[in-house]
Structure 1
Amino acid sequence: MKQGLIVYLNGTSSSGKTSISKELQKQKEVPFHHLSIDEFLGGYDDFIDKKFPDIEPTREVEDLGQILFGPIASVYFATIKLFSELGLNVIVDTVIDNDKWFNDCHDLLFDYPMLFVGVLCSKEELTRREQLRGDRMIGLASAQFDKVYSFHEYDLEVNTEQLNPAECADRILSFINSGQDCSAYKKLSKREITVS
């Protein structure tokens, strides 16, 4: 049994990754499992809320995101690897704007079949979408922009200002069916982590 294909959608928050993922799952030709980091983080929040409903912290923790996100991200990447090992096709829906998390993902998934897709959108449109959504901090995507879009090569790019989610999904599916080589991810190098 061959490893499942990993479709890595690289884009900022509000770029359209989840909408494209839903469209990819709708089609019946190639089955996909959507793994979103938001669901992993939300699942942990649900666990805490159910297990400790009356918890009352005695102090405030400033780096709560750092304490939790790293380990949860590690489980997330390991789950992607597991699904591929099980022969299941996976859509990766996350934002990696941190060099350590990028390196962790790179270490785990470098040798796996990976279609690296740039999900592109301008800063102006990302801000407009954040304002419309109302569930994202305004400026989040803009803050992620330079780090997320620091890659210079993709197997495929889709621009969500020019194409709707179904059209983006169709382009991805056409690329998969074309039998073209997926090699962009293998050309990426680990990032040097500087300690400040």
Structure 2
Amino acid sequence: MSGQIILLHGPSSSGKTTLARALQQVIELPFWHISIDHLRDSGVLPSERFANGDFDWRDARVSVFDGFNASLAAYAAAGNNLIIEHILDDPRWVDDLKRLLAPFDVYFVGLHCALQTLEAREQARGDRPLGSAAQDFHQVHEGRVYDLEIDSARPVQDNVARVLTGWRSGERRSEFRDA
């Protein structure tokens, strides 16, 4: 048995977590909600030591994300359904994820919203370096082919309904379809 995957992709502060939590509450199968933020916030990563300079995040970032991406495939191979939040800001990750997730049904969703909204959310959160959202805004959707694109400024329940309708349809046309 292999898991099904809903992959939410968009800039920092674009509403991925809000959408993932709302999906998890209503989808008819058990789905894990997983993101790199969960590792950071749970204490799995030595975030404080990266922040204070004991460790260099630039040196660790590649192996952290290589491990994270490989773990996603392992979770799905074990039969777990996943709602994944990701910011594909490294072009190599796209190719790696296409290869790693090729055996699975991946429904790829792009989250969009206005730059001003992203910046306001980033400011309000206070847990991201200011400017991350703007940097992501200008690059993360470039060249991506989605099954569904949504505007996260719309009501979350409307977006949940759109994601579920598309996911349930079984129609896949994203770049993950024939990876």
Q: TM-score, normalised by structure 2?
A: 0.85
In 2, distance between residues paired with 1:173 and 1:187?
A: 17
In 2, distance between residues paired with 1:80 and 1:16?
A: 21
In 2, distance between residues paired with 1:133 and 1:140?
A: 12
Call closer, same or farther: CA 1:28–1:100 in 2, change over 3 Å. closer
Find 1:173's aligned residue among 156, 164, 172: 164
Structure 2 unaligned regions, length at least 5: none
RMSD over equivalenced CA pairs, Å: 2.4
In 1, distance between residues paired with 2:57 and 2:156?
A: 30
Aligned to 1:78: 70
Shift of 1:22: 0.5
Would you say 1:17 and 2:8 are equivalent positions?
no
Aligned to 1:192: none
Paired letter, 1:45? P
Would you say 1:159 and 2:151 are equivalent positions?
yes
Query: Contact (CA 8 Å) 1:15, 1:160: kept in 2 or not?
Result: yes
Structure 1 unaligned regions, length at least 5: 50-56, 190-196
In 2, distance between residues paired with 1:112 and 1:28?
A: 18
Write out aligned runs for 1:54-73 (5 A): 64-73=56-65
In 1, distance between residues paired with 2:122 and 2:65?
A: 24
Count how many residue pairs are aligned between Structure 1 and Structure 2. 175
Paired letter, 1:168? N
Would you say 1:100 and 2:92 are equivalent positions?
yes
Shift of 1:187: 6.2
Shift of 1:188: 8.5
